Structure 1
Amino acid sequence: MQTPKKEAVLITNQALRFTLTDFGKVVETYEKQLQKEHLMILENPNIEKWELLHQKTKRNFERFMVVREIKDKYNKMTPFKKMFPFAPRKEYKNMDFLCDILNPILTKEIPSERGTFISLENTKSHLFGLKEKFVGLKRIESLSEESERISKNELKDVFCRFLENFFTRMHVVRCYVEMEDTAEAYIMLRETYTENRYSFIEIKRDNEDFRAAISRAAMYSIQKSMVGGWKGEYKLDVAAISLPKIRSIIGRVTFELGDGGMLESCSLEITEPVEWEDDGEEACRFLNHIGSCIENLNDDETQ
């Protein structure tokens, strides 16, 4: 059945309101009505109004079956797909929608949940090498005889190796992490001794949208938490970084999952973008922030 766009919207909204019990009752009602009208037409073949009524009922029934098909597909969706009708990699096209769900709040500072465990001295000792590496890549890119552009993946690999200097034993730095819908998160930092602590870091090239990057990191974190399906409140530390100039935003998303892993409330704290100076302070703050990882705030994670 061909369905006009406006009617398709109404059908979809109707589908989301129906329960499976509702569907069963309506199908039964339609079937009885169709049988009744069919008998009336057979008994009174010359009565035109019954034929018109029967045709109208058939059209309504066909429309209702489309509604039922939509509802069946909706019921098979994961909680994340029900809440976000697009993949995280499409976040830049849906920022207004995301802001309504994530409720971003700009803040000057996000205190670390676990205190400082990476020192400023240790940060500075590795930051110099990272900056030198990026200077070298930019120099290569600027050479007239070099036609290739340094890819985002290459920049990301360099940054991952930098992170690995700080996160060992209790943490693992993962790149190209496969998510749902064939999506791929850039970097996930997770603790090795528990399933329930991790942070997502999104990478952008210089001059790309930071707000979209931090929103994507938040979406990946929510998505992974929904897969676990544990009810309760969560705090997730997320971050975005632009390369090769090395500017960063840190964020913390707090949300609550209800029955079936459905998102019930959410807020996202984010800071202004900052550039990593040679003194290492911003780099150190970034590292300690993402090292806090995710925390399920429930006493009982099995509920």
Structure 2
Amino acid sequence: MGRQVQIRRHGGSDVLEVVEQHPEQPGAGCVRVANQAIGMNFIDVYGREGLYPIPSFPSGLGTEGAGIVEAVGDGVTAFSPGDRVAYAQGPLGAYGSWHCLPEKHLVALPDDISFETAAAAMLKGMTVQYLLRQTHCVEAGDTVLFHAAAGGVGSLACQWANALGVRLIGTVSTPEKAARARELGAWATIDYTREDVVARVRELTDGRMCDVVYDSVGKDTWEMSLDCLAPRGLMVSFGNASGPVEGVNLAILNKKGSLFVTRPSLAGYATTPERTRSMAAELFEVIRSGQVVVPVGQRFSLDRVGEAHDALTERRTTGSTILIP
């Protein structure tokens, strides 16, 4: 028997329950992974709450983890039982002691990358990879604004941007998070609970503002983020922590300086096994080189999954949060 987290309806953290289940036999083209560590992300909260509707109940939750291949289905050629693997996409159900998913979503996990590091880094790290290396290929000397700079994605972005010579201005909510972001490589930080973000960006950049704004907050920061951009700057809205951005008036982009806007996701970049593995390889290389250290701020057992979700939504976490099956 194995343990899986399930939800039977959308709602708060109280809808999360741990149940015992027999491991599935993987179907054709699929692999069953014995999870050693599981990544937890804000997108999991969106699914639990219903912002991203779940098609049927009961349902598993989570899409990120790392572990050992237990069994393979017909037609699987890239992996065998005993292989170390990691994943960031696929069907819901990563919150558990095992997970079945198509082999196209798996990447081989090098021996020098731990399971915990992989579970903490796959979704967030590949997100940073596409944000900094594909959505806008940042260059040394660029100035960018990154919201939630001490969070899971932000903690990696601070380091990766610093390694590329990019001046990253990170927004944070406490002095402690500001110190953490600077320690990780942020060029400057802004405490949005105490400072005027737009005015502070203008001061830091001598009025030039930012080439790119990376915004995972959504509704609450939309207008502010646009005001932090230089003319013809790029607004990258890649999350909805405060709720989705709605009712966008395109004319405002012209009014604020012929701005560009994109709403990307990992699924739009990791579109083939080859692209997925290439992105993961670049992530593993910056981790291996020491340019990016994956901070695991919190570890929770599956039994404490509700507590883990509450800590995330109440912004009481730093770095990545992982579940241990």
Which range, TM-score by smaller chain?
under 0.3
Please give the TM-score of this superposition, normalised by the length of structure 2.
Answer: 0.26
Which structure dedicates a bigger proportion of its chain to strand? 2
Which structure dedicates a bigger proportion of its chain to helix? 1
Please give the TM-score of this superposition, normalised by the length of structure 1.
Answer: 0.28
Q: Which of these two proteins has the greater Rg computed from alpha carbons?
A: 1
